[in-house]
Amino acid sequence: MIGLGGVGQRHVRNLRTLLGDDADLIAYRVRRLPQVLTPELSIAPDADVETRYGVRSFSDLDAALAEKPDLAFIANPSSMHVEAATACALAGCDLFIEKPLSDSTAGLDALIALVEERRLVAMVGYQLRFHPGVAALFELVRSGVLGRLLSVRATVGEYLPNWHRYEDYRAMYAARAELGGGVILSQIHEFDYLGWIFGTPSRLFALGGHWSDLEVDVEDTASILMQCTYAGRPLPVHLLQDYLQRPPSRSCEVVGDRGKAVLDLADLSLTMWDAEGTATVQRFDGLERNQLFLDEVGHFLRCVTTRERPRVDLRAGRESLRTALAVKEALRTGEIVVLDREAVPRAG
C-alpha cells in the first residue's frame, strides 16, 4: 500500500474482506498519521491504523519493495503516482493505481511500456465502471432504442469541505495544485465513463476556474463542451463539474430522436422516456457505495490470477487523463483545443 488516507484505508478494509487475515499487507508511508477512518470517513476513536488492519509500515520505498510484494496499490497524491508505480513495476509488482493516473503525461508512456514489456497486470481505479446504473446506461445506448443520439449532458458537483469531514479541506490533495488537485482531475470519473460510452472527444472548449470563495489554488468549476463521434456522426457532450453543489448532484442525460434517458447516480435510478413520452424507471436501491470498490478490487485480483486485461487498463487511464489535461489547457487559453490523438468513436 502506497498511501493510507481515505481511499487507501478503504482498499485495505476491502482486501481484508476479500483475502482474509492471512494476506501480508505492508505500507510505504510518509506522513504516518495513525488515525483509523471509518467507511463513512469519520475518525474512529482510540485506534491505530497499522494495528487495526495488521499492516507493517516502512518509511523507505526501497525497503518496502525488498519484501518482494506481489501487488502494489498506489493511493498517494496524484502527482506522485507515476514515480511510485514505476518503482513498483520495476520490482515486479502488478499495479492498482487510483484515479487519476497522474496530473500530467510525464513518464506515462514509459510506465505503460514497462508494464507491457514485463506482462504485468495494471488497472486504474475507476469504480464507476462497476456501477450497475452506468452499465445499464451503456447497454441502453448501445441498444439503439433512443434512436440517433443528439446530445449528452452530464453533471457532477459536491461541496468540497464535505468530502472528508475528518480533515481540513484546504489540506486535501483535491484543493492543492502541487498534489494534482482541482475539480477537473479530482472528478475525472466522468471523463472515463463518458469516453467509454460515447467515445473520446476530438475537440473541446471549456469555461471555469476558481470562481467561489473556497480557499483553494485550483479550479472549482468547469463547464465543458466536447465533440465526440457516435455512429459516424458528431455528438456534443456537455459536462459540468464543481466543488460547490449542495446537495451533491451526479447525473447523465442522453437525448435521441426517439427517446431520452436520465441516469441519476444520486437517486440511484435510470429513467427512459420513449417517443410518446412514456417513462420506464429502473432503480438500484440498496446499492452501497463501497460495493463498487469491492467489485473493482475483486476484478483486479481475478485479473492477477488469470493474467487477463483489466476492465480499465493503463491505456484507458491515459485516454481519460489526456482529455482532462486538454480541458485544463482550454481553461488556460480560452481556446478550442484539438486533442493530440485520433478520436475513438463509438459505432452505435
**Extended beta strands in the chain, E state:** 25-28, 36-37, 43-44, 55-58, 71-74, 94-98, 122-125, 149-157, 203-209, 221-230, 233-242, 249-256, 259-264, 269-274, 279-283, 337-338
Give the start-to-end residue ranges of the domains of the chain. Answer: 6-127, 131-287+314-338
Confidence (pTM):
0.94
Task: Indicate the burial class of 333 (C-beta count within 10 angstroms; 0-12, 13-18, 19 or more).
Answer: exposed
pLDDT at 209: 97
* Per-residue pLDDT, 344: 60
Can you give the pLDDT at residue 334? 97
d(CA 52, CA 25) in angstroms, rounded, equals 12
- CATH class for the region spanning 6-127: alpha beta
What's residue 48's pLDDT? Answer: 87
pLDDT recorded at residue 46 = 66
What pLDDT, on the 0 to 100 scale, is given for residue 341? 60
Per-residue confidence (pLDDT) for residue 271, from 0 to 100: 98
pLDDT score, position 343:
56
Q: CATH class for domain 131-287+314-338?
A: alpha beta
Yes or no: say if 133 and 265 are a contact pair by the CB < 8 Å rule.
yes
Q: For the chain, list residues with pLDDT below 70.
A: 34, 40-41, 46, 341-348
User: What is the torsion angle, in degrees rounded to the nearest 10, for the CA atoms of residue 287, residue 149, residue 279 and residue 131?
Assistant: 0
Looking up cell 482474509, which residue turns up?
20
- Over the range 267-301, which residues count as b (16 or more CB within 10 Å of their CB) and which as e? bbbbbbbeeeeeeeebebeeeeeeebbbbbbebbb
